[in-house]
Amino acid sequence: MSEKFYLTTAIAYASRKPHFGNTYEVIMSDAVARYQRACGKDVFFCTGTDEHGQKIENLANEQGITPKAYVDGVAGEIKEIWDLMNSSYDYFIRTTDDYHEKAVAKIFKKFYEKGDIYKSEYEGWYCTPCESFFTNTQAADGKCPDCGRDLAQAKEEAYFFKMSKYADRLMKHIDENPDFIQPELRKKEMVNNFLKAGLQDLCVSRTSFTWGIPVDFDKKHVVYVWLDALTNYITALGYDPDKTFEEQSEHFKKYWPADVHIIGKDILRFHTIYWPIFLMALDLPLPKKVFGHPWFNFGMDKMSKSKGNVIYADKLAEHFGVDGVRYYALSEMPFASDGSITYEAVIKRYNMDLVNNLGNLVKRTLDMDKKYFGKVVPAPTAPEALDDELKAACEKAYKNLRASMDEYHVADALEGIFEMLSRANKYIDETTPWTLAKDESKKERLGTVLYNLMEVIRQGAIMLAPFIPATAEEILNELGTDKRDFASLEGFGGMVAGTEVADSKVLFARVDEEKKLAEFEAERQKMIAAAKAEEKPEKPEGCALIGIEDFMNVELRTAKILECEKVPKAKKLLKLKVDLGYEERQVVSGIAKWYTPEDLIGKKIILVANLKPATLCGIESNGMILASGEETVRVVFLADDTPLGERVR
């Protein structure tokens, strides 16, 4: 019987479309799952969506729809992106699934009957986006320590879980299982900041909103979203709260405990403190490992729509293909520190690694085989020193792959494979097949060189299959080989002489950097504009209230712009001649950044007509044009049929 391997992602919160950083998690988890399957393990890969909570209720109310209708739409979009990224999950759970909700309600009641839950009142800091509670110490500045947003004071009746009851037991488990929390830095954060500081009892129900799983014995309460969400890892396997571990289904007993939970570093506290304690209270084994991966930032900044730097994996795939997106995500994220994504970096890595190193190697090797051997794999002869170096590079890459992936050092695994491919490209330059082809006496040597290259490509494709699976399969199909498993990488010589290979294809088309960056900039500007359109302006502090008599002292008159020109040596100023019907005036206005003279001539406007004259850049100005805005100024234009000189009230 194959060794089992159960891994999960953190289920995505169904509030918004996931950006590139969110999608990285499922891509990484998929690479791990595919790798473990390639190692011969019986893998169960679970992902899904977290669909309850106050934030979702608020978003649904804003759109005038039910929370269920809202999460149905977002969960569907998340699943589409996961599928687009070629994620090979075995199960997709939604926390609105009926069986999950029933199991959570039973778990909550079980905790209560066991004495682990008690009713009290919560008063303190709460972060709605993170659905998290914080003490005064944790949120000394009134900001969420996880996301940095403003916290709100909350006070409501709630049930609490006695975390302190299990704190010593959890600390003992972490001490006895040093690899339970990875990376090591994250473990130190959890132990020092939470366990050693004294674990507070956790609020596990809410009464201030209704979108959640009801507490069946106290209907005004709903289960706290994190207790609800975390239990998906066992309900997805069919966990029955009414049964002991020994009485659970064979499916559950086969896969639980999880071999690894792959999550973002920001939710490590929930997975390494709250979740293990919930499992202890249920008398269930703890997961073997919790891996908190870093974040992807846009350059040095967090992704923000207002900055136009939010990147979505599905949109990126339109430019670089799915495997282009997967490759960048997996190769660029370090093991412990945050990764960076910029369009320039994506283009550079795509062109250098996928187009030049991999794609060019495959194409020119198959093209040479077609030209010199009619698309048939030649038989190799006695190796030379260069051949042995190439074989050693393959052996090194495979050993590095196994060692790196077993420890979740995904980028390091890929780096080793591409070093091997670089060595193969160098091997072409060293052996110069085109020169060998000119000498009939060197035909056998030419055949050996091409055989070796095709074998390196075969091995590289097998090693790359967990990371860029569609491309790996295409390469192996072009080679015409049926030797595609890890077992065939133990030696050098899996390609069978006499096999017919296919015509080469362009695996990755080179990207024109200048043209592509221009496209991305246009998209960025659209995003910024859309974000501004969605923004709800904050209520201004305003000025002191005035009476009607004060307002009537401001004389606003309709006018028409007759002439307009730029003021020399003043980038911001325009000089205008305006007609009020009863007289013409000269006005200087600081709107040159937003309007040209051609934009204004002939337009009807509102003029503050009783301002004292002012001199700007040596030019007298008699009035002020009415306009709105600060960062972007918009002149108030009137209809063409507006009479001149009318008083505006």
Q: What is the pLDDT of residues 466-525, one digit of tens each?
A: 999 999 999 999 999 999 999 999 999 999 999 999 999 999 999 999 999 999 888 888
Where do the structural domains in the chain lie, given as residue ranges? 343-489, 548-638
pLDDT one-digit tens code per residue, 23-74: 999 999 999 999 999 999 999 999 999 999 999 999 999 999 999 999 999 9
Please check whether the two domains, 343-489 and 548-638, share a CATH topology.
no
pLDDT one-digit tens code per residue, 281-299: 999 999 999 999 988 887 6
Query: Worst-scoring range by mean pLDDT, 318-332, 352-366, 598-612, 617-631?
Result: 617-631
pLDDT one-digit tens code per residue, 341-351: 889 999 999 99
User: What is the model's pTM?
Assistant: 0.81
| pLDDT value at 300 more than 60 | no
- pLDDT-derived band at 131 (thresholds 50, 70, 90) equals low
User: CA 108 to CA 25: how far, in whole Å?
Assistant: 29
Q: What is the per-residue pLDDT for 314?
A: 95
pLDDT one-digit tens code per residue, 636-648: 999 999 999 999 9
| pLDDT value at 543 more than 70 | no
Q: What value does the mean pLDDT of the chain take?
A: 92
- Identify the bridge partners of residue 154 per DSSP, sorted by sequence position: 124
Nearest to 90 by CA among 51, 50, 49, 43: 43
User: For 408, phi and psi rounded to 5 degrees?
Assistant: 65, 25
Q: Percent of the chain beyond pLDDT 70?
A: 95
User: CA 417 to CA 468: how far, in whole Å?
Assistant: 12
Q: What is the per-residue pLDDT for 171?
A: 93
Distance of CA 329 to the CA centre of its chain: 9
Q: What is the per-residue pLDDT for 301?
A: 62
Q: What is the per-residue pLDDT for 187?
A: 85
Nearest to 602 by CA among 554, 566, 638, 574: 638
DSSP characters over 504-563: P--SSPPP-HHHHHHHHHHHHHHHHHHHHHH--PPPP-------HHHHHTS-EEEEEEEE
What are 50's two structure tokens?
């977290």
Domain 343-489 has CATH 1.10.730.10: yes
User: CA 143 to CA 152: how far, in whole Å?
Assistant: 9
Q: What is the per-residue pLDDT for 6?
A: 98
Fold adopted by 548-638: OB fold (Dihydrolipoamide Acetyltransferase, E2P) (2.40.50)
55: three-class secondary structure by DSSP: helix
The DSSP H or E segment spanning 341 is strand 339-341
Strands (E), 242-334: 260-264, 290-293, 296-298
Query: What Rg do the C-alpha atoms of the chain give, in angstroms?
Result: 33
Give whole-number Cα distances, 513 to 297, 343, 351, in Å: 21, 9, 9
Q: What is the per-residue pLDDT for 112?
A: 97
